[in-house]
């Protein structure tokens, strides 16, 4: 019989720690690997960790992904800065990029260790292609809507965002899931569903 644990203060602490980690990684990516537009990185490897944290820790990881993107890449963005009001809805891109694989993995009962081709295919589809396409589209469009970029820049921002995120997620996520998941699953903070 599986032991199901109720969310406790440990999940509050976990969420806060993940927010700090996501914020630091997001900020580093935007500073060290700038994409020429506020909040956009040429290789935003923070997205790979946000996806991993969400697949391992459920909705707690998703909350941290949104907050980390909002703070690290949005509110702390530099020249030209993303206005705070724009950062609030622009950061939904990070949330979408992690919720899509989370919902798909839970719906299709994907084994996070990626033991078979089906699970790897679902990861590539929902955790690399669809989620990053939706996130890049949302991010580029909302930057234009918020007057951070011009409408003529939407295509180039979308392309930079998408290609960079696909590169980092296809390299980091499958390896981390395959080799890191067995260790994470043994902990009390691993979340099998969304909140458990």
In tens, the pLDDT along 64-76 reads 999 999 999 888 8
194 domain-assigned: no
Q: What is the pTM of this model?
A: 0.93
pLDDT at position 162: 97
**Two structure tokens written together for 81:** 């800065």
Instruction: Specify the long-range contacts of residues 105-108, CB closer than 8 Å, at least 24 apart.
Output: 105/55, 106/193, 106/194
pLDDT at position 7: 57
* For range 23-41, the mean pLDDT: 88
Residue 5 has pLDDT above 70, yes or no: no
What range does the domain containing 59 cover?
A: 9-185
On average, the pLDDT of the chain sits at 93
Residue 145 has pLDDT above 90, yes or no: yes
Residue 34 has pLDDT above 70, yes or no: yes
pLDDT at position 3: 54
193 domain-assigned: no
The domain tally of the chain equals 1
> 158 with 144: CB under 8 angstroms?
no
Domain CATH for 84: 1.10.1760
């Amino acid at each position: 019989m599986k032991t199901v644990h109720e969310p406790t203060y440990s999940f509050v602490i976990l969420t806060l720690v993940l927010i700090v980690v996501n914020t630091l990684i997001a900020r580093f990516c935007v500073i060290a690997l700038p994409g020429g537009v506020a909040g956009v990185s040429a290789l935003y490897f923070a997205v790979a960790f946000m996806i991993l944290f969400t697949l391992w820790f459920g909705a707690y990881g998703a909350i941290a992904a949104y907050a980390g993107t909002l703070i690290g890449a949005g509110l702390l963005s530099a020249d030209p800065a993303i206005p705070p009001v724009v950062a609030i809805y622009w950061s939904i891109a990070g949330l979408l990029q992690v919720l899509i694989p989370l919902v798909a993995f839970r719906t299709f009962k994907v084994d996070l260790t990626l033991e078979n081709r089906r699970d790897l295919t679902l990861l590539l589809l929902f955790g690399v292609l669809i989620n990053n396409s939706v996130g890049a589209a949302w991010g580029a469009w909302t930057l234009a809507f918020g007057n951070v970029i011009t409408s003529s820049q939407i295509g180039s921002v979308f392309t930079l965002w998408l290609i960079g995120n696909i590169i980092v997620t296809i390299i980091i996520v499958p390896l981390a899931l395959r080799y890191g998941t067995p260790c994470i699953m043994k902990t009390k903070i691993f979340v099998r569903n969304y909140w458990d």
